[in-house]
Structure 1
Amino acid sequence: MVNLAATTLAVNAWLYDHEPAFAEWALEYIDAWRERAAANRGALPDNVGPTGAVGELHGGAWWGGHYGWTWPHGLHSIGAAATVASLNAVVLTGELDRLDLARDPLDTVLGHAEVSDRIAERGNLGPGWAEKLGATPDTRELLVPYRHGPDGWFDFHPVPLSPLLWLGWVSDAETDRDRVARVHAASESDWSAVRWFRDKEEQGHEAPWHEYLEGRNIDYPERALEMAIGQVLRQRALIAEAPDAPEDGDIHFWQRLNPVVTEVLTQLVTGAPPAVYYGGLTFARLAVGDADRSRPGLPPGVAMLVSGIRGDDVTAELVNTGDTERVVVLTAGAFGEDTIDEVTYSGAAPGYPGDPHSYAIPPTVPSSSTHRIGSSRLEVVLPPRTRIALQLTITRRANVAAHQTYIPTKQEKA
């Protein structure tokens, strides 16, 4: 079942030239597992035999496959693969009907949820969860079973937020928001806290980012960036003390020392959760490119923050801290699948910096202007030492997704 993540290979190839065979293969494979889940009363099986029968090589059991429901990670691996495949289906079709593949395993385990404490004492994942949540022995959380075996469901841990937030991010559906609200309501840990940790998946800080977008954690960007810098500094210190290679051949050696951190920047700059570790594509509400260098990423001296996502509206701020004009290319969606219908941008009204003979620094009175765009791309010209706030109205999934370039066209500018 975890081979669902392999659909990313076909989708990535399709994004270049839209060869139908790649899309057809991926959707056929995804739909086959959806049918198996539906036939298993919504519980996504983890194995299938040579003839296509679930449990064919496992004595008829729908659980027990490699990296499946009986594997030590259980739901962690199952949920990731199902999320990757569901998001890939959205890229290919622009439709949301195949998100049931990711919803079903979550709803299955939530049907057995219980609120309990002593997080660190529960299974091999418990200590890690306690560190991420800052949980004491008395902290109570909504726990769900991660594994299934001959005696039924077992190995209870906190609900993983990444697949829940991905579903809400891509669908904006009330049912997906309700799942997150249910987990939040049963959680005693502080969702606004920015815990200082780093795992190999470049994930784990979904809760404080979610609270930031909900307007309940306004200083998250500053605290999250401070934490991210702390991650880099620690990794560099570990590298300085590390041997040239591990004597025991530990395969996790390089993961633990990797100084490249991306989670917080992905959240703050693109307005999206970080890519699902197990083979997920990189998504964005706003992808950013450097027109002068015709490449993705922020131009030198430019900072960007996606500060609000409300339905079809996205709020972003851009700052050019340098002495050179920069042209930033914004794309609605990582693959240009969305359309920017309208943009309202705010800057300072005339009058600043004022009379040089005066001691008083004049206030920067904001001035705004609204323009129709009707394109997936917007080029923003930033004069030196300029800050601009953008309010974009976006229609999601209005275009066929495709890999993007950042060669400037200068047809639509703000």
Structure 2
Amino acid sequence: MSSPSVNLTTSITASRRGPAPSWAAKQRQLFDLLNESARKFIDRYTRPDGTLIWRGDWPGMDGSDDPYEGFMNLALLHALGGDDWLHEASRRVWEGITWQWTEYGQIHREFDAYYDWMHHGEGYLYFYFLGLAGPATMKDRQRAVRFANMYTGDDEEAQNFDKEKQLMRSPLNGSRGPRFETSREDWSTHRGILDNYLAPYEDIPGVDFASGTCKWSDDTIYGHLIAMMNERMNRGDVPLNLNATGLVTNAFMHTADERYGRWVLDYLAAWCERAERNGGIIPDNVGLSGEIGEYNDGKWWGGYYGYRWPHGFMTVIEPITNATMNAVLLTGDMAHLGLARRQLDLNWSLRREENGAVTVPHKHFDAGWTDYRSATVKYPVYLWTVSMADEDLERIHRIPKLYDWNEVIVPNVSGKDGKLGRETKHYIVNTEPWFQYIRGQLPDYPDRVLDANFRLVVRQLERMDSPIGDPSAWPVDYNDDDFSSIHIWQELCPVYMESLVQLTMGGPMHISHGGLQHGRFRYFDADRKRVGLPLDTAALVEKLGDASATLQLVNTSQFETRTVVVQGGTFGEHRIESASVLDEADGTTADTAGGAVAGADAVEVGSKWLQVELPPGTSIRLELAMTRYANKPTYDGPWSPQSNGLLLQGRTQY
């Protein structure tokens, strides 16, 4: 993999003029709606300094991720081409949340003091999106390095990582280091909510494990829970910690420091070894000595967010998928997908047929595998978007279609009896129909998913204007079974744009629990020298291949010329080798103005960037030959400084 110099000399000019296709007009209308919705959301729920209009205290450890989640899409919208003011606003709100939760006592040195990497993963998506919403500031890079060092063993105060044994020392970790013992206060804000969840162990006194619930709100049971988790669960490593590879990869993309890339690969390799030692199946708990099941009577199941946890296989396979995709991003080596592929295959090998339907186990109790449900298609879809390999297509197609993969969904934002619905995380719901579209099976998907996105935003705006959207009326009870205001911002936020990410970037939305936003393309405005699509410009990735992609660009303005820089890969990881202009009607090659001739005379590019000029009312369809993962990933754009900027050094003696 190379680090190419800036090359914007290759330029193509569109010549086909005509009415904008419906999807393009809708895309620009959605940008307008989201920009105004973002302004309203900020005005309603934040103060001028970026702090949130909320309660005066929050004692538990669970919660600092939620405000970040509620506002993180401000940065992502700017990265896609949202209004200029979002660059400052998204950073101001991030700073406000960070300061506020520092005052509550949970954030320390601008990073969560201690919690798990399901929640760290959710919350620090905001931080990753700030990298995309460049140009990166010195604060972005300084924080990226400081945060990553908390997980590489290079921070004296936060010794989360054992370099010798290549393991995280606790599932609960952060800027204060590993949290081997939790207190009653740590879980206090979620006890009522957790009453409806599965117990973490079969042998908790006073708990009927078979009922599938556990009364955290009962003081006696709560005492048993804290003691047993401290004894069995809070020391050593768990697969969930693989989500930390996103934080360290983020630091690499800000600095190009190879030690961060090596850490990601070494930590992933450590978990590969543990899975091999456990007969292929990744264990969900490893002690401080490196022994599997060290604090759990030798059982490889039963760890924090492991196979016995209410989420089961999901919170095992997700961090593995994230880590393997990060490793490919850093190296271009598809072999790094092996751990995720093997776990999916092993899970599939345990399938059985129930009532005519093929199901796979999602949990493992002391009695064996259980909780058989249909396999989830989205994880092999994520792997396929990286690999473009037939073997990952087979992993997708072997899963029976027990529901309609062509159905475009509007997330249910109103639950039973008018309560807030929690059916999806970050309202990421249309991975299957996007996959159908990008494989040529659902040609009307762009219009349909944009329509669905409009409906979601409008419904969210309606909720903001309803009584439940009034922050002065939110209950103060931490453990209200029907309402917890710690989740309210993400459940009311109108700034959701799954359609824009899928259609413009050519990839599914990130994995919500800490996945980087991978995609085939990213865009820059050549005239304003900023990230995102230019004004009036719409983009549609129509087809993906291992060495090519089809992209359509449209200028919806009938009066202004727009110039867009197309980047290969979200992080500049792909090289665009050449560009051919396709005829709109039949996909054959055609001539274009501006000196570019398609077909056999395809324009040579040889860079991660290609500039496309769009005169008023024009569109262009391009087939781009690509070498994927040819470049080291970076947040840097065509005009920003390369990722070796100055970092501040603090005093070492006092």
TM range (shorter): 0.7 to 0.9
What SS is found at the alignment partner of 1:252? helix
Q: Distance in 2 between matches of 1:155 and 1:110?
A: 14
C-alpha RMSD over aligned residues: 1.9
- Higher RCO (CA 8 Å, separation ≥ 6 residues): 2
Deviations 1:80-112 (A, max 9, x none): 111111111112222111212211221121112
The answer to whether the Cα contact below 8 Å between 1:202 and 1:274 also exists between their aligned partners in 2 is no
- Give the drift of 1:283: 1.2
Q: Distance in 1 between matches of 2:528 and 2:610?
A: 16
1:351 alignment counterpart: none
Q: Distance in 2 between matches of 1:222 and 1:287?
A: 21
- Give the drift of 1:346: 4.2
Deviations 1:344-377 (A, max 9, x none): 12479xxxxxxxxxxxxxxxx9645220111111
1:46 alignment counterpart: 284
1:345 alignment counterpart: 581
The one-letter amino acid of 2:444's match is D
Partner residue of 2:408 out of 180, 194, 216: 194
Q: Equivalent residues in 2 for 1:259-408 (5 A)?
A: 259-322=494-557, 323-346=559-582, 367-368=591-592, 369=597, 370-407=602-639
1:181 alignment counterpart: 397
Q: Residue 115 and residue 393 in structure 1: after superposition, are their counterparts in 2 closer, same or farther (change >3 A)?
A: farther
Q: Distance in 2 between matches of 1:49 and 1:36?
A: 12
Q: Distance in 2 between matches of 1:395 and 1:72?
A: 41
Q: Distance in 2 between matches of 1:99 and 1:402?
A: 21
1:254 alignment counterpart: 489
What SS is found at the alignment partner of 2:398? helix
The answer to whether the Cα contact below 8 Å between 1:287 and 1:333 also exists between their aligned partners in 2 is yes
Q: Distance in 2 between matches of 1:338 and 1:366?
A: 25
The answer to whether the Cα contact below 8 Å between 2:554 and 2:620 also exists between their aligned partners in 1 is yes
The answer to whether the Cα contact below 8 Å between 1:347 and 1:387 also exists between their aligned partners in 2 is no
1:113 alignment counterpart: 351
What SS is found at the alignment partner of 1:330? strand
- Give the drift of 1:23: 1.7
The answer to whether the Cα contact below 8 Å between 2:426 and 2:490 also exists between their aligned partners in 1 is no
Q: Distance in 1 between matches of 2:255 and 2:382?
A: 26
Q: How many residue pairs are counted as aligned between the two chains?
A: 368
- Give the drift of 1:21: 2.1
Higher helix proportion (structure 1 or 2)? 2
2:370 alignment counterpart: 154
- Give the drift of 1:24: 2.1
Consecutive unaligned residues of structure 2, counting only runs of 5 or more, are: 1-238, 413-423, 479-483, 641-654
- Give the drift of 1:407: 2.9
Q: Residue 58 and residue 229 in structure 1: after superposition, are their counterparts in 2 closer, same or farther (change >3 A)?
A: same
Q: Distance in 2 between matches of 1:80 and 1:239?
A: 32
Deviations 1:224-269 (A, max 9, x none): 1111111111111112111316314413222221211122211111
The one-letter amino acid of 2:261's match is A
What SS is found at the alignment partner of 2:252? helix
The one-letter amino acid of 1:404's match is D
TM-score (norm 2): 0.54
Identity of matched residues, %? 37
The answer to whether the Cα contact below 8 Å between 2:301 and 2:364 also exists between their aligned partners in 1 is yes
Consecutive unaligned residues of structure 1, counting only runs of 5 or more, are: 118-139, 349-364, 409-414
Q: Distance in 1 between matches of 2:270 and 2:291?
A: 11
The one-letter amino acid of 2:610's match is L
Q: Distance in 2 between matches of 1:114 and 1:367?
A: 55
Q: Distance in 2 between matches of 1:157 and 1:229?
A: 32
TM-score (norm 1): 0.85
Asked whether 1:11 is paired with 2:249, we answer yes
Larger-gyration structure (1/2)? 2
The answer to whether the Cα contact below 8 Å between 2:546 and 2:628 also exists between their aligned partners in 1 is no
Q: Residue 220 and residue 16 in structure 1: after superposition, are their counterparts in 2 closer, same or farther (change >3 A)?
A: same
What SS is found at the alignment partner of 1:57? coil
- Give the drift of 1:404: 2.5
Q: Residue 116 and residue 234 in structure 1: after superposition, are their counterparts in 2 closer, same or farther (change >3 A)?
A: farther
The answer to whether the Cα contact below 8 Å between 1:312 and 1:394 also exists between their aligned partners in 2 is yes
Q: Distance in 2 between matches of 1:209 and 1:115?
A: 28
2:29 alignment counterpart: none
1:236 alignment counterpart: 461
Partner residue of 2:439 out of 197, 200, 214: 214
- Give the drift of 1:75: 1.3
